[in-house]
Structure 1
């Protein structure tokens, strides 16, 4: 059986996940880059503003990813990232909440009954 660590440590999996979920990092950076462009792009044409925006966004995202890849930064911040990620996941996915509260089996039975899924077992 593959562990989660082995699964997520596989370079092919990481290649796919980084592209699939990297949009979240970009989505949080976009408003900041836009706000900075208000000052930097004053007097520039729309076309020039878009070029500056894309250049700044590319540099900003690269910087964040490099920061995250630094082992010292990761060691310092990983616990908080994990706690924040678990909290967000619990808000989005009821199964995570049930699992962490020790009632996943009950949750799965309720879902199976609701969708008329056969229970495995």
Structure 2
């Protein structure tokens, strides 16, 4: 019987806790929370090479460039970008510059290369352009 009573008490606490969370959720504007967490938009701020696309071979060569390499080393591999994107202050130590390269085999997808100062910090993909 004690076991049944402790189980019932546990269920009551779970239900009470869930009710508090649900009530808090109704008081908070979730769109405001998401807006503050959303990444910087991938919109060109300056077009550098309007006809620039990235081949599969160039993409493969970039994968061999280690993070932390110089911007010059990446540029030797990729050449000039299609455009420069809005900078962001997402890194704790400074501003992140980003450059976009549409893929030749899928122009709606961009390779986005990131730099902090003169140092390559990585890449990502941006879809639906």
Normalising by the smaller structure, the TM-score range is: under 0.3
User: Highest Rg: 1 or 2?
Assistant: 2
What TM-score do you get using the length of structure 2 for normalisation?
Answer: 0.22
What TM-score do you get using the length of structure 1 for normalisation?
Answer: 0.23
Larger RCO (CA under 8 A, 6+ residues apart): 2
Query: Which has the larger share of strand?
Result: 2
